[in-house]
Amino acid sequence: MSNNEKLIKKARKFSIHEKMFQCPICGGAMKVERMASLECENGHCYDISRQGYVNLLKHSSKTKYDKALFEARRTISGSGFFGPMVEAVTTRLIQELKSQESVKPVRLLDAGCGEGSHLSAILRKLREQRMVPDVLGVGMDIAKEGVVTAAKTFPDPMWCVADLSQSPFADQQFDYILNILSPANYSEFRRLLMSDGMLVKVIPGSMYLQELRALLYTGTGKETYSNDGTMELFIRHFGRIEFEELRYRVILDSEQMKQLIHMTPLSWGISDELIERIPDGEMEVTADFTLLYGWI
């Protein structure tokens, strides 16, 4: 397929769903023009890349997330570290979908999709379930490097580089929003969710990577972690909530451990010398997550 054909194929997908979008600058309605860009009624224009993503940031944004970080996250996803968490989220989504009275197409947004592996795995699992209706996946992240990797690796969802505080979607466009190990914006989540929609937020539990904390943070006061503040904020924004705790242990080799350190906010501000403290050979680490579900 030539580059031009690739672009047209990607643009067609955005064109089918163009009504979902709104201009992040002026809030105007958007249309796909010349099978090449999303444009608003006031002339703000966002090119569709041939990899299949649209950059909807007003200004390019410098984030702490670089290409190496997303490569590390992809390696760790491949190692199965997140497997049971992704499985639990999918199981809950399937349960919710099956409880719906009518079968209708479903739209799922991953807000903070990074390099796309969680969204892609969840979509694949949902589609394996014949009972589940048509699902459109949309991934959004402010870090362009993550979205570029996502678009190259997983062609199926629509990928957007965008700022969650001014997300480029019209009101009430999504049945489900995922927000996995990523910062929230509750007023935007409430605006984007359909009235019976559900937010799924995954946050680390207090024992998340406790072995790493013990190695890297001894004597710094950061050895322990609490998600109480995040929980409280979540509860305040929803009429109905449920939560679920999920804890399991994973064995990683020393190379995977180093990748894990590179992808986690834990490692920011940690010197190479400290990272050298990671012993060679395999190490068992704790994955501890709280899964929060919220309905407006």
For Zn ion, the binding residues (CB under 5 A) are 23, 25-26, 28, 40, 42, 44
Nearest to 224 by CA among 216, 236, 235: 216
Q: How far is the CB of 126 from Zn ion (least distance, A)?
A: 33
**Distance in Å, CB of 23 to Zn ion, minimum:** 3
Q: For the beta carbon of residue 120, count every other beta carbon within 10 angstroms.
A: 22
Considering beta carbons, is residue 48 or 285 the nearer one to Zn ion? 48
- Least Å distance between CB 291 and Zn ion? 36
**Residue closer to Zn ion, measured from CB, 46 or 154:** 46
Beta carbon of residue 38, minimum distance to Zn ion (angstroms, whole number): 10
Nearer to Zn ion, 23 or 122 (CB): 23
Considering the complex, state which of residue 40 and residue 180 has its C-beta at the smaller distance from Zn ion.
Answer: 40
Q: Least distance (Å) from Zn ion to the CB of residue 30?
A: 8
* C-beta of 28 vs 155, nearer to Zn ion: 28
Residue with smallest beta-carbon separation from Zn ion: 23
Nearer to Zn ion, 31 or 247 (CB): 31
**Closest CB 58 distance from Zn ion, rounded Å:** 10
